[in-house]
Structure 1
Amino acid sequence: MKFFLKCDEAVHVCDKSQYNEASFFEKLKLKMHILICALCRGHAKRNTKLTETINAANIKTLLPEEKEQLKSRLQQEIKNNPQA
């Protein structure tokens, strides 16, 4: 088992870590790689900033039922007004 990651592997683990999908050992290897690689360290910082920004936005989406209702209403409107 290798302990050091290549940059492309480090980027992949960094992305997995962002979504809490990386294992403890993957995170450990990523931290070791980031200590020596400035490019991946920059990627990790940008990834962290992106995650924080998205979480701070507190974006609300429609529920699946609401989407279906909206879709049905739009289809009905199109059906009733084909020239509009």
Structure 2
Amino acid sequence: MSKFFFISKKDAFHICDKSQYKESTIWEKFKLMIRCLFCDATRHYVNRNTKLTEAIKTSKLDCLSHHERQLLNERLKKKLKDEV
């Protein structure tokens, strides 16, 4: 019965990552909570992952357009070619 509720640390980290993208089931979240009750490493990982998720959601990042990315890539390739 205990194997039914308890998961490995690796599985807990995976479920935590899935939760970040809203892909985990209620049962997985429950098992993750059980794991967090007795494992400091899992609890620390979940806290850090939650903070990271919130930071990404609240950030105001401006991404490069496709054209800007291509120009940057071409400049980088040219610079590397010139140095060789």
Q: TM (normalized to structure 2)?
A: 0.70
Once residues 60 and 23 of structure 2 are traced to their aligned partners in structure 1, the CA distance between those partners, rounded to angstroms, is 21
Higher helix share: 2
Q: Do structure 1's residue 37 and structure 2's residue 18 form an aligned pair?
A: no
Which structure has the greater CA radius of gyration? Answer: 1
Q: C-alpha displacement at 1:62, in angstroms?
A: 5.5
Once residues 25 and 64 of structure 1 are traced to their aligned partners in structure 2, the CA distance between those partners, rounded to angstroms, is 40
**2:23 is matched with which residue: 18, 21, 24?**
21
- Structure 2, unmatched stretches of 5+, are 75-84
SS at match of 1:5: coil
Task: Output one character per residue of 1:48-72: Cα deviation in whole Å (capped at 9) or x when no partner.
Answer: 010011111132446669978x79x
Q: TM (normalized to structure 1)?
A: 0.70
The equivalent of 2:52 in structure 1 is 50
Once residues 55 and 2 of structure 1 are traced to their aligned partners in structure 2, the CA distance between those partners, rounded to angstroms, is 34
- Structure 1, unmatched stretches of 5+, are 75-84
The equivalent of 1:78 in structure 2 is none
Give me the CA root mean square deviation. 2.5
Q: C-alpha displacement at 1:15, in angstroms?
A: 0.5
- Opposite residue 11 of structure 1, the aligned amino acid is F
- Opposite residue 39 of structure 2, the aligned amino acid is C
Count of equivalent residues: 75
